Structure 1
Amino acid sequence: MTSRPQSPTASDALTDDVLAEFAAIDDPALRLALNAVTKSGIDESSLDRAKVVATPRVISNRLDDWAITSQKKSGRCWLFSSLNLLRATTRAKLGVKDFEFSQNYAMFWDKFERANFFLTDIIATASEPLDSRLIQFLLADVLGDGGQWDMAVSVYQKHGVIPKEAMPETQASSCTHRMNTQLQTLLRRSALELREQVNSGASSEDLAAIKKAVLGEVWRILVISLGNPPSSFEWEWIDDDKAFHRDGVLTPAEFYDRYVGIDLTNYVCLVDDPRTEHPKGAALTVEHLGNVVGGREIRYINAPMTTIKKLAADAICSGEPVWFGADVSKQGDRDLGLLVGNLHDYSGLFGVDLSTTKEQRVNTGESAMNHAMLFTGVDLADAGTPRRWRVENSWGDEPGDKGFFTMDDAWLSDYVFEVVVKIDALPDDLRPAVASDPIKLPAWDPMGTLA
């Protein structure tokens, strides 16, 4: 039987002798690393030049010939990257090289729908103690900018899309922090009021009226910050051959049907959940995660990384970019536009073994998806094995190759968590998970982290 840890005693304290022993260490490698880090910083000092040189930007199968987008000071990468996927089709239909959807419009509806989702959830969980892990998690994660693929699908299916010029960016859409803090203040206070009403026996009609009043205040803040989302707009454009086109007045849903036309129900999100308790081939979902009440269920299929890579490469080679989510806080260089396995030799710099497995990182909170981007190219070796991937980011055109990044295959294995593919491209062993009952993960599970 394993004994329980004892409470700390005086013998556990750091003594003067121990401190003197550490202070007396005389190591030339330590002195060299100290000089480098204190002058240039950890990342610059640990950058492996050989890795940089070995990761050229040339890609054998490349789709992109368009300009990059910029989410600026916002966390809308999941909306930018999903809209970047949709615009690949729209550009062809319009006959233009560069086109953007209104990311502001998509964010407006995500925020408003998510406020309703949150308040609905608060009413449904009112019997939970206020200090429970669930309620504290819901209150901590109120109306942030991040999201998941299925949440983007819910917005586009219900509210359609519009060109950027029909609802352009505002200061608040490009720098969302202050708008978000006002919404969070309102919703957290309202959550307490709704919980009190539920536990005092308020009727469902009274609760609905209170929720509607709060949503009216959310709407007001959003309109002042982002502008009014148009229910229709006049659409006209000039194509790259200088021809003028006018298509009259369209609703956002009509614009989607006419100029996107992609059936989003034919896509599914594959994940690489490395934890042994979650078998490959299983469907997963995360409780309390979503943005549209009655919208698309959050569904993942846990798939082997070899399958994920093959399906992504096949899609690119057939002319389709691929949405994915990853942990971009690890082993990257923003200025160079590189995402490369072991790009920074931190272990060598510090003389300390800092290696971890993907499963260890997920289990300890060391790593989770925090950013969504688009694969627009893949470099295949003679045997068809991926070596490098080209990535459309949404950080503007200054990093990397005018905003595009280069990823090596080792980085993909270590830090990519989600890839969206067409259902009809799935191998037979993954198809049952499209409709099977998913394993339900708690709201705070790492697989529910928002990009």
Structure 2
Amino acid sequence: MKAVSLKTIENMHESYQQNTHQKAIRRALAKNPMDSIAYVTEAEQNTQFRFSIDIETLPVTNQKASGRCWLFAGLNIVRELVAKKYQLKDFELSQNYQAFWDKFEKINYFLEAMDDFLTCDGDDRTLKHLLQMGIQDGGQWDMFVSLVDKYGIVPKDQMPETYASSNTAAMNKLINIKLRKYAAEARILASSHLLKEKDALKASVLEELYGFLCTNFGVPPTKIDFEYVNKQNEYNKSSFDSPKSFFDHLGLSLHDYVSIIDSPTQDKPYMRSYTIAYLGNVIGGKPIVHLNLPMSRLKELVIGQLKDKEIVWFGADVARDGDREKGIWDDQAYDYETAFQMHFSMTKEQKLDYLQGAMNHAMVITGVNLENGQPNKWKIENSWGADRGQKGYYLMSGTWFDQNTYQAVVHKKYLTEVELNAYQSKPIVLKPWDPMGSLA
């Protein structure tokens, strides 16, 4: 390793002092945010909220200070079917109910996973990864399917939001302390060959944390009374003996939907299926499986479903090139390279391999604009409330979508036979920290 000499720093200082462009930028940054300095006004003409395919959907939802976007996106898809069946103009399913059981199942998943690490070296990388990750709000499509399979769905008024469900940080912190404490104690018991005591501790922690979830989220309902007024202003009431039966009567098979990813990295050849070690919530639930296809094919599949008037669950990296007030993500709207006279561009492969990009937010695609058959902008139903974007709806430019979208879920009927066979083949198991295992 080589230290930077004082002479080198002196030369850098003299060179910078002669750069009049950076002097102007420095003065502008003293009173303005960086994004404003790099903003390209001319890009606005290409990001108007007009689309050749625009599916009408219910009003947007609000996940507030939580990371439950994947649950909101999944329930936003299912609620459209409920609204269509019952002719509703405004309706939400309980995100709190889904989050309760997701947390409970993740707790059990963690406790059971620790059995694989009772006697390993304390510096084992997988153990350290699981301990560091702990329990989070995020998830993936197949995890949503597993929850619905086991626990069904309920209308929002049957289990409304609480402060804790909408503001999850403090609750998650305590859960993770409890889980890491269990891991430490379970390893001590295992080293002393006290396996019965370890199992008793596990059962005790699970019961304690179930009660903790009830205290924070409320007690999940076991029966459903579904009251509603339809578009014709007619009052109705339907009763169901369980949340599972409420979902089952809709006749929707979530297992008919396939997760497609675009991961153009050397370790993931296209036309192969993948899963991720130690990623999941419901033990024995639907395995997490992704079919890796090129972005061009992913877009074809999404557009095919949109043309059939069905919205699409998808995941992207929304941490860059966005204006949350206007509700626009557009990589052409920010020119940092000209502003700072530095190169920042990376390929999608490089971003994945060098931890610059990964899926971190799930939403629903409700529209697209096609020019000569190609998409140049996408309409997005977000879950950040109606006070941003266009009443909560967002826009993604075509180039931004290509570079920052990593996953979409489409009905299997849109896949070719070869693609479906590839999806159904034995998946390659990726390491727990692989970017395709990131939680939206």
TM-score tier (shorter)? over 0.9
Q: Report the CA distance between 1:162 and its aligned residue.
A: 0.2
On the 8 A contact 1:117/1:293 being kept in 2, the answer is yes
Q: Report the CA distance between 1:206 and its aligned residue.
A: 4.3
Q: Does 1:403 align with 2:404?
A: no
On the 8 A contact 1:151/1:291 being kept in 2, the answer is yes
Aligned residue for 1:157? 149
Q: Does 1:387 align with 2:376?
A: yes
**Matched position secondary structure for 2:82:** helix
Percentage of identical aligned residues: 37
Which whole-Å deviations, capped at 9, do the CAs of 1:176-231 have from their partners, x for residues lacking one?
0011111111111011112222332234x544332111111111110110000011
Aligned residue for 2:297? 307
1-side partners of 2:31 and 2:251: how far apart?
54
Aligned residue for 1:428? 417
Which whole-Å deviations, capped at 9, do the CAs of 1:82-125 have from their partners, x for residues lacking one?
11111111110111121110000000000001100000000122
Equivalent residue for 1:186, pick from 160, 178, 194: 178
1-side partners of 2:108 and 2:191: how far apart?
20
Q: Report the CA distance between 1:385 and its aligned residue.
A: 1.4
**Matched position secondary structure for 1:253:** helix
Amino acid at match of 2:50: V
Which whole-Å deviations, capped at 9, do the CAs of 1:368-421 have from their partners, x for residues lacking one?
00000000001112x321121100000001111011001111111100000001
Q: Does 1:357 align with 2:347?
A: yes
On the 8 A contact 2:25/2:339 being kept in 1, the answer is yes
Aligned residue for 1:35? 27
Q: Report the CA distance between 1:249 and its aligned residue.
A: 4.1
Q: Which consecutive segments of 4 or more residues in structure 1 shift more than 6 A?
A: none
Aligned residue for 1:111? 103
On the 8 A contact 2:142/2:289 being kept in 1, the answer is yes
2-side partners of 1:127 and 1:426: how far apart?
45
Amino acid at match of 1:190: Y
Amino acid at match of 1:327: D
Aligned residue for 2:219? 228
Q: Which 10-residue stretch deviates more, 356-365 or 49-58?
A: 49-58
How many matched pairs?
438
**Matched position secondary structure for 1:161:** coil
Q: Does 1:239 align with 2:230?
A: yes
**Matched position secondary structure for 2:4:** coil
**Matched position secondary structure for 2:417:** coil
Amino acid at match of 1:223: C
Amino acid at match of 1:133: R
**TM superposition score normalised by structure 1:** 0.95
Equivalent residue for 1:132, pick from 95, 112, 124: 124
Q: Report the CA distance between 1:15 and its aligned residue.
A: 2.1
* Structure-to-structure mapping, 1:199-218, within 5 angstroms: 199-203=191-195, 205-218=196-209
Aligned residue for 2:114? 122
Task: Give structure 1 stretches of 5+ with no counterpart.
Answer: 1-7
2-side partners of 1:15 and 1:277: how far apart?
40
Amino acid at match of 1:295: G
Amino acid at match of 1:57: F
Amino acid at match of 2:33: G
Q: Report the CA distance between 1:153 and its aligned residue.
A: 0.7
Amino acid at match of 1:48: V
Q: Report the CA distance between 1:339 and its aligned residue.
A: 1.2
Q: Report the CA distance between 1:337 and its aligned residue.
A: 0.6
**TM superposition score normalised by structure 2:** 0.97
Cα RMSD after superposing both structures:
1.2
Q: Report the CA distance between 1:310 and its aligned residue.
A: 0.7
Aligned residue for 2:439? 450
2-side partners of 1:294 and 1:352: how far apart?
50
Q: Report the CA distance between 1:278 and its aligned residue.
A: 1.1
Equivalent residue for 1:371, pick from 361, 369, 379: 361
On the 8 A contact 1:322/1:421 being kept in 2, the answer is yes
Task: Give structure 2 stretches of 5+ with no counterpart.
Answer: none
On the 8 A contact 1:123/1:198 being kept in 2, the answer is no
Q: Does 1:290 align with 2:280?
A: yes
Equivalent residue for 2:328, pick from 338, 356, 374: 338
On the 8 A contact 2:224/2:240 being kept in 1, the answer is yes
Q: Report the CA distance between 1:233 and its aligned residue.
A: 2.5
2-side partners of 1:131 and 1:52: how far apart?
51
2-side partners of 1:65 and 1:427: how far apart?
29
Q: Report the CA distance between 1:13 and its aligned residue.
A: 1.9
Q: Report the CA distance between 1:165 and its aligned residue.
A: 0.2
2-side partners of 1:145 and 1:165: how far apart?
22
2-side partners of 1:443 and 1:277: how far apart?
14
1-side partners of 2:38 and 2:99: how far apart?
38
**Matched position secondary structure for 1:430:** helix
Equivalent residue for 1:18, pick from 3, 8, 12: 8
Q: Does 1:266 align with 2:265?
A: no
Q: Report the CA distance between 1:429 and its aligned residue.
A: 3.0
1-side partners of 2:57 and 2:273: how far apart?
36
Q: Report the CA distance between 1:352 and its aligned residue.
A: 0.5
Equivalent residue for 1:417, pick from 406, 420, 428: 406
Aligned residue for 2:247? 256
**Matched position secondary structure for 2:180:** helix
**Matched position secondary structure for 2:201:** helix
Amino acid at match of 1:448: G
Equivalent residue for 1:45, pick from 37, 41, 45: 37
Amino acid at match of 2:11: E
On the 8 A contact 2:57/2:366 being kept in 1, the answer is no
Distance 1:343 1:329, change over 3 A: same
Aligned residue for 1:94? 86
On the 8 A contact 1:57/1:406 being kept in 2, the answer is yes
